[in-house]
């Protein structure tokens, strides 16, 4: 009986740790890529580990897709800037303070970003 109880506790703890963090809502994103500032607001909807929503950048609402796994959040979108389309990929980790910090990959270079939930 004791072994069964321990096994059930282990399974329950495992189930809790695989749940994705809840990141649905509005986030303010500030970043920098090779000295170029990036600042926008994004609104996320979350369905399990799947992330969708919009980023409002340069006055346009741009669809985003992404994932949430444990405390890792990845989201991406395409943005047209001065006639060129750039694919931006943001990968960040949720901190204990509820903020998000990570890296931006775009056009073969990387930058950094932080995001705070409104």
Q: Is 72 exposed, middle or buried (0-12, 13-18, 19+ CB in 10 A)?
A: middle
Residue spans of the domains in the chain: they are: 21-117
The rounded percent of the chain whose pLDDT value lies above 90 is 77
pLDDT tens column, 36-81: 999 999 999 999 999 999 999 988 999 999 999 999 999 999 999 8
**Nearby residues of 43 by Cβ (< 8 Å), 6 or more positions away:** 25, 26, 27, 53, 54
pTM: 0.82
Q: What is the CATH superfamily name and number for domain 21-117?
A: Quinohemoprotein amine dehydrogenase alpha subunit, domain 2 (2.40.128.120)
Mean pLDDT of all residues belonging to the chain: 89
Number of neighbouring beta carbons within 10 Å of residue 43: 16
Number of neighbouring beta carbons within 10 Å of residue 30: 13
């Amino acid at each position: 009986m004791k072994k069964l109880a321990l096994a059930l506790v282990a399974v329950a703890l495992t189930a809790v740790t695989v749940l994705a963090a809840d990141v649905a809502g509005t986030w303010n994103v500030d970043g920098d890529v090779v000295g170029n500032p990036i600042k926008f607001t994004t609104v996320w909807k979350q369905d399990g580990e799947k992330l969708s929503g919009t980023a409002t950048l340069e006055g346009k609402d741009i669809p985003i897709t992404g994932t949430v796994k444990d405390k890792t959040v990845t989201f991406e979108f395409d943005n047209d800037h001065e006639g060129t389309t750039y694919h931006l990929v943001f990968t960040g980790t949720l901190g204990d303070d509820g903020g998000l910090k990570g890296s931006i990959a775009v056009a073969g270079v990387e930058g950094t970003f932080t995001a705070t939930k409104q």
